[in-house]
Amino acid sequence: MSNRTSVAPVQSIDRIDFLDILRGLSIMFIFTANIPFFSGLWFFEPTHPIRDINWASDEIVNFIMYVLVDGKFYTIFSLLFGIGFVIQYNNITAKNGSFAPFFRKRMFWLLVFGLIHLFLIWAGDILTLYAVLGFVLIWFMKASDKTLLITAALLILFPLVNWAFMHFTGIFYPGLAFEQSTTVYQYFGMPVVEMDGFSMPDIQAYLLNDNIIDFFKMNLGEGFIRIGMILEEGRVFKVFGIFLIGIWAGRKILNGNLLDNTAFLKKVFIIGLLIGLPINIARGYLEFYVERTTTTQFLHVLNYALGTVPLALSYAAGIALICHKGAGVLNVFKPVGKMALSCYLFHSVISIIIFYGIGFNLTGKYGYTIIMIMAFSIFAVQAYFSKIWFQYFKHGPMEWLWRKLVYGPNLKKDSKVILSKEI
């Protein structure tokens, strides 16, 4: 196929705006979900000597964010990935191009970005998983809507099977990744701690470390921890299931006027809220106020499987209804959505500079309330910067690099490819 294939807007600028707005919102709340790690909040108790400030509101804010945010916005981000897949497929095939080679090349470079992010910058990376699953997603590009939705439902519930397999067989296969992380730490002489009879990387030492070379050494081990957590949670199945729902939604957006079907969107919003909110409140109660046992662990996995997706879909439908009437103030999220890859990666760099020992060493010093204020403040600055950026450039910096790598020297300078909208 020609590398000059260009992608045109779908049907109306309003619909592209909706996707950018939803993506920008997702980036903001994904950051609020990730910053407790960056800040050391998860690894230094309020009573730890390093903690400078605790506010009475910390537990309330923590509970609210856990119930309303945790898992919901990377779910929406996964949904958008599936929608973007359909947009790309339609654009390429409309020009008689070959989609699979194009998308494989696109996923290859996303995988490169992800692996660099995962093993050298921050272990919480999601790009690597998206890229790996993206290769598999090609097999479903011509699947029927029924096949997509049935497969998605099964995959979203499959973490329950994953948990049951590990619990009843005693085969904790993610342990291989966790053991590898410790091996890497020990190989480089990095600090480890003993927990339940096992040696594990010392996360506190990792965050407090002020040596840049040791930072990279420890990141190599941290990356394997991330892989182990993804396997333990069964996130592979859930994310791929959401990708498939995204393909279905993308088809309905392009061919079924889904974003104009306000009656359907209202049903999704209401039903998703009625199902998702109570289940997530119950999940929060289990997490914060009930001692962890085998039964509560199962209920936690069950509530996550049954409650996260409905609430995330409710959010997405609600934003679509608002945008249908006029986005208004939500337009502030549009520039961030247009350079989502750049903003996502910059969150890691900014947070490391602010919190880690190799930066300003603020790790562990603040409670949940202050950390959330910092997260929203950082995002506000980023949103303003993104708006200014697009006054001078057509694409975000990482989006431009991604396009350059995918399309090579034949990329037209004036190409209208909407890659920044498709992550």
pLDDT in tens, 49-103: 999 999 999 999 999 999 999 999 999 999 999 999 999 999 888 888 899 999 9
Q: Whole-angstrom Cα distance, residue 419 to residue 81?
A: 11
Does residue 6 sit within a domain?
no
What are residue 201's DSSP bridge partners? 192
Question: Which residues of the chain, if any, have pLDDT below 70?
Answer: 1-15, 409-423
| Domains identified in the chain, total number | 1
pLDDT of residue 198: 84
Do 31 and 375 touch, CB atoms closer than 8 A? Answer: yes
Per-residue pLDDT at 365? 96
Q: Rounded to a whole number, what is the distance in angstroms from the first to the last CA of the chain?
A: 22
pTM over 0.95: no
Q: In this predicted structure, what is the pLDDT of residue 186?
A: 96
**Which residues 6+ apart lie within 8 Å of 240 measured at CB?**
133, 136, 137, 155
Residue 125 lies in a domain: yes
Cβ count within 10 A of residue 256:
14
Is 3 inside any structural domain? no
Range of the domain at 245: 13-421
**Helix axis angle, 262-289 relative to 294-325, nearest 10°?**
150
